[in-house]
Structure 1
Amino acid sequence: MDEHLGRLLRTMAPAHDETQTAMVEHTMAEGFPTVGPESGGVLRLLARLVDARDVFEFGSGFGYSAAWFARGMNGGRVVLTEYDDEELALAREFLDGAYDVEFAFESGDAMAAVERYDGPFDVVLLDHEGARYPPALARVREKLRPGGVIVADNVAAGPVDPETLVVMLDTEEDPLVSRSEPWDVDTTTEGIASYLDLVRNDPALETVLLPVGKGLAVSVRVE
């Protein structure tokens, strides 16, 4: 990203509230990654724009992204999922009584947890293993209401190899990566490439990629 654009995005990012300030102090002490206020502001805005009442997160950590969703909601529910019981317990501690929404805390595999919810979801966040984005999409696509939004984080940086990602998604086949070859979707880069290919070719979804944080792919269900 252009250095000046990056600085401008950071300058325009919304301020943390008291709960999130405490969360940031935790991240500084423990080195735990978060989506950051630039991406968090997008999550808050999307929740407000779609008047979100039911949000489901694949991968929640200690609740930082859930707090951003809650700031854009007027009541409703956010479902958090997390393998690490200690992180989920910390999310309960941070979020208990902090916002005017209901929080549901699901320990273990998000792919199993989502089966316990019928939807329809207004917003879904994918922020777990990139290789699992395609099957997560398959689980929630029909549970997302028309006008609802799926947000996929970390689609352009972090564990992703951006150069390989571009080659895989380029419509003009590159001789180094043949589209006739099956993609190894068990890897982060190819899993995310597969996910982006799915959402851009799904007639029921309109998708844009936002150069915020490590890259947000935002898809809205149009039919």
Structure 2
Amino acid sequence: MDGTLPDAIASFARALGPEPDSVIAEMDERADDEGFPTVGPAVGGWLQMLARLVDARRVFEFGSGFGYSAYWFARALPADGEVVLTEVDAGELDAAREYMARGGFESIARYELGDAIETVEDYEGPFDVVLVDNEKHRYREAFEAVRAKVPVGGVVVADNAMTAGVVDFDALRRLVAGDDVADANRHTRGVADYVRRVGDDPAFETTLLPLGEGVAVSCRTE
């Protein structure tokens, strides 16, 4: 987290969150070994709780990796629910399929190989929860593609709303405040553009969850 969130707070959040199972523990170990960027157990537990709070039945993910966040969501969905995983890497999607099956979620998971923004056009709403975790410079594009499919009471959750390996938090804060940051990269600019877009949308209320690498949560209110 590059010092943005104190380690003690992150550890405490993990301790208070839902208990991971053996599959999640294995995925955490894989992420650590490979340096793969997942949302982590503190945010994962919170995503599970969010799905419960909105009584979610359908979830769509823009970017799923090897299924880490989808697995957390799936633990809160009903037996006839649905979580749509999207990924451009076939190997990661195959791994996601294996993990989800081992957790007993094969019947509710849908797997889509390819561009998530193109994929969502093939699905009808509503989606009670949407996770935006694709290329940072395309966050706004993802929101525009799914916005009409989010019902009142549904939520759009964007990871890396504060930082990531390619997102500069200081530059991001300045951009969101309206400053001209000439040397900000396109990933940082993409997140800033997304945050401003959802923040200005009169149909959504947006707040920040300062866990992991920052999560922007936008609830549809009208």
RMSD of aligned residue pairs (Cα, Å): 1.9
- What is the aligned residue count? 215
Could you tell me which residue of structure 1 aligns to residue 214 of structure 2? 215
Could you tell me which residue of structure 2 aligns to residue 92 of structure 1? 97
Work out which of the residue numbers 168, 173, 191 in structure 1 matches 2:175. 168
Could you tell me which residue of structure 1 aligns to residue 53 of structure 2? 49
Q: Does the Cα contact within 8 Å between 2:70 and 2:85 map onto a contact in 1?
A: yes
For residues 17-67 of structure 1, the C-alpha deviation after alignment (integer angstroms, 9 at most, x for no partner) is 122122223223333221101100111011101111110000001111001
- The TM-score with structure 1 as length reference comes to 0.90
Amino acid at match of 2:169: P
> What percentage of aligned pairs have identical amino acids?
49
Amino acid at match of 1:93: E
Separation in 1, partners of 2:131, 2:161: 12
Work out which of the residue numbers 32, 38, 52 in structure 2 matches 1:34. 38
Alignment of 1:40-189 (within 5 A): 40-75=44-79, 76-96=81-101, 98-100=103-105, 102-158=108-164, 159-170=166-177, 173-174=178-179, 177=180, 187-189=186-188
Structure 2 residue 23 is the aligned partner of structure 1 residue 19: yes
Off by >4 Å, runs of 4+ in structure 1: none
Which structure is larger by alpha-carbon Rg, 1 or 2? 1
Q: 1:215 to 1:51 in 2, by over 3 A?
A: same
**TM superposition shift of 1:97:** 5.3
Q: 1:84 to 1:165 in 2, by over 3 A?
A: same
For residues 118-138 of structure 1, the C-alpha deviation after alignment (integer angstroms, 9 at most, x for no partner) is 111100000111101001010
